[in-house]
Structure 1
């Protein structure tokens, strides 16, 4: 059922024109509407007075002339039964699938009404994706009488439904119901007050009270567990109508159901053989425009993909043209890097001789006469000193105090040679500069 769709998607499916008829004690209230995703326009409304006492052919001719005047003679109406002629039940069916729900309802049907089995007619609809089912019930004789009267008058009828089903669908047309709940109280011609509400505690509430509207609203608010201040005018719950001021909220709600039957609850008490479907030809212009729109969207999508391919091809061509230059630049970068490395190595070799001479100069300074060196071995990381001194033991400290040497130790033990001491000292150099 389309009423269970996402609200944004339901809005774009809200397209159509409809006729709503509310049956009163003496009069019929008729409302014509046109629904579009942008809003609802009230085309016209009229009241057929004292229809029960007048010949059906007479007021039926006036009704059809009214429809022809406004260009909707091809439409079948949705009729709303008086609240005192119907019973509305709300029953939970947890765990029952849509496929098994009809059998479950037939099994419990006798418990929903006080009429003999053959004297009642009922229809039902699941409320959204919940386990709650709305059931509309009326005496078969009442439905047959109204259907026969409309048939005699030449009034095309597609659906006879109940107020709760019409209000439930109307509240959700072009909008989303408030999370805090809603409530409205409507005085009836019988002197009673019909209350309709929704809340988190009660998916749907519909009842009549023989009380003042304020008192009925307060009792219903307590049942719904919402504030009594939440009660609103029924028109405030329905989509705002452009054009005339709505005279009958219930007739207006029935017209909305007639305009968008696929977005409404399927509670229809009219026997299937008496139902008149709206002509499918009226959907041809809308379908044609929809197909044209789909073609345009498809063309835009194809154009976008084609432009993307062209763009990628152009980028590929540019890349192919620039690749030789990129390779040449990379080759030049590598050549420059090799030249830098060679220059750096040459600089290091040039500095080595100077650094080695600094080692010899430092050793000469550290060994004053009569000490002397017989050999000097210099590597990049160390120095090996060999020579003679009067007292060789103190040379380790002397070398370590030099900024050029560290970690000095004797490679061989000290040997006494006459008045001198022969030594071999190994020291580490500072790491060569890069």
Structure 2
């Protein structure tokens, strides 16, 4: 593994953890003096850490962490502004002097989004950046230290939901894991196992978790809490964290003196370069491709090489095919044009025949019908409109009495199913009617 370094920043104290390429761990507590940057640089040089970047983790007391419920709207900068505006309601310091980051917690598509947000005072972040800069290094990430405890666990965690209680410096950091991700965290001043149980129960109620399966205890006074009967009242499996095999030996070498802070510093050192809550400004973050991006880039390169080779092999065959096809087209062009002319003449003659047949059919039917219709309608009736269609006929007009017209038209040998298509109205002492009838089948 590559050498890793992590700096835990607490109020008035720094804890540095350096993991060598061989997996050897060295932790040291630094009490800031007049020039803490020089102190940090000296410790890094003493431990032979030559890399330019190191991770910084802020103690949970220095960061406000909340899980916000947000509506499902379009992403982008507008959603980030909504999250920041909502977060401003919970921070105990001026929003103008706030550094923050957020990440969406996975969930069902038909429920509001749950967003994990973190914020600290801008001066706290500036202090961390200045310290790293004075040490002649660059920050890889600025995270919430207790959230980095996830780096000590296997990639796949067996319990669906679990609580990690990590004690250090007289307080307890509670980290809540759901499906392998940090869903929330708290720092509580629990001095006894009974107080710890109360704080866990209160937080589980806020998270609406009813099926938390495991409670992990680590840090200071681990044995005291693991043997406390009160913890078993939670109904969870109580144990030490199931550390990943590759870090288990490193954890075993964490010094007992200040073990809680040292374990947090180790987690910061081994944490991801892209944590879910990264308070480092985006302009200062390292531009590193992820493993998935590297795999994608390699696959794209191989695909391009294969594509170029295949294209080169096909170009020659395609040119030969195009040349032979062009020659055949030139040979058949006169015959094609002759066929097109013949097709045009046939289409014109078909249209002419169809028009003559239509005229003949309509004239044989329309003229006798109009003569009979003239005899069927009474003298006091006259038509405003007459529409003849293949399905039937429609008559619009006026008469002294419209009702008898149905009986008259039903007696026609041409029509059947005569009916009014709209109510009869009175207009200037005459009935305004609208009739429709179908052609009688023969």
TM-score (norm 2): 0.50
Q: Select which of 64, 80, 83 maps to 1:102.
A: 80
- Structure 1 pair 19/101, CA: closer, same or farther in 2 (3 Å)? farther
Residue 193 in 1 paired to residue 172 in 2?
Answer: yes
Residue pairs, 1:11-30, within 5 angstroms: 18-24=4-10, 25-30=12-17
Question: Contact 1:74 / 1:278 at 8 angstroms: preserved in 2?
Answer: no
For structure 1, list consecutive stretches of 5 or more residues without a partner in the other structure. Answer: 1-14, 35-40, 300-434
The aligned counterpart of 1:215 is 194
Matches of 1:188 and 1:109 in 2, distance apart?
Answer: 27
The aligned counterpart of 1:93 is 70
Shift of 1:88: 0.8
The root-mean-square deviation of aligned C-alpha atoms, in Å, is 4.0
The aligned counterpart of 1:411 is none
Q: Paired residues, what number?
A: 261
Matches of 1:19 and 1:278 in 2, distance apart?
Answer: 19
Residue pairs, 1:113-132, within 5 angstroms: 113-128=91-106, 131-132=113-114
Question: Contact 1:156 / 1:276 at 8 angstroms: preserved in 2?
Answer: no
Residue 53 in 1 paired to residue 33 in 2?
Answer: yes
The aligned counterpart of 1:251 is 265
Q: Select which of 140, 148, 158 maps to 2:122.
A: 140
- Structure 1 pair 77/216, CA: closer, same or farther in 2 (3 Å)? farther
Shift of 1:276: 5.7
Residue 155 in 1 paired to residue 151 in 2?
Answer: no
- Structure 1 pair 177/92, CA: closer, same or farther in 2 (3 Å)? farther
- Structure 1 pair 95/231, CA: closer, same or farther in 2 (3 Å)? same
Shift of 1:161: 1.4
Residue 277 in 1 paired to residue 259 in 2?
Answer: no
Of structures 1 and 2, the one with the larger relative CO (CA 8 A, separation 6+) is 1
Q: Select which of 15, 18, 23 maps to 1:31.
A: 18
Any idea what the Cα deviations from partners look like across 1:221-250, whole Å, max 9, x if unmatched?
A: 432435697333377254241544352222
The aligned counterpart of 1:334 is none
Residue 232 in 1 paired to residue 217 in 2?
Answer: yes
Question: Contact 1:64 / 1:155 at 8 angstroms: preserved in 2?
Answer: no
- Structure 1 pair 239/33, CA: closer, same or farther in 2 (3 Å)? farther
- Structure 1 pair 188/117, CA: closer, same or farther in 2 (3 Å)? same
Matches of 2:288 and 2:83 in 1, distance apart?
Answer: 32
Higher radius of gyration, 1 or 2? 1
Matches of 1:93 and 1:140 in 2, distance apart?
Answer: 25
Matches of 1:198 and 1:42 in 2, distance apart?
Answer: 27
The aligned counterpart of 2:273 is 261
Matches of 1:165 and 1:238 in 2, distance apart?
Answer: 15
The aligned counterpart of 1:42 is 23
Question: Contact 1:125 / 1:135 at 8 angstroms: preserved in 2?
Answer: yes
Matches of 2:192 and 2:26 in 1, distance apart?
Answer: 26
Shift of 1:163: 2.9
Question: Contact 1:161 / 1:268 at 8 angstroms: preserved in 2?
Answer: yes
The aligned counterpart of 2:90 is 112
Shift of 1:79: 0.7
For structure 2, list consecutive stretches of 5 or more residues without a partner in the other structure. Answer: 220-239, 255-261, 307-442
Question: Contact 1:75 / 1:278 at 8 angstroms: preserved in 2?
Answer: no
Matches of 1:30 and 1:278 in 2, distance apart?
Answer: 24
Shift of 1:90: 1.0
Matches of 2:36 and 2:182 in 1, distance apart?
Answer: 40
Question: Contact 1:124 / 1:135 at 8 angstroms: preserved in 2?
Answer: yes
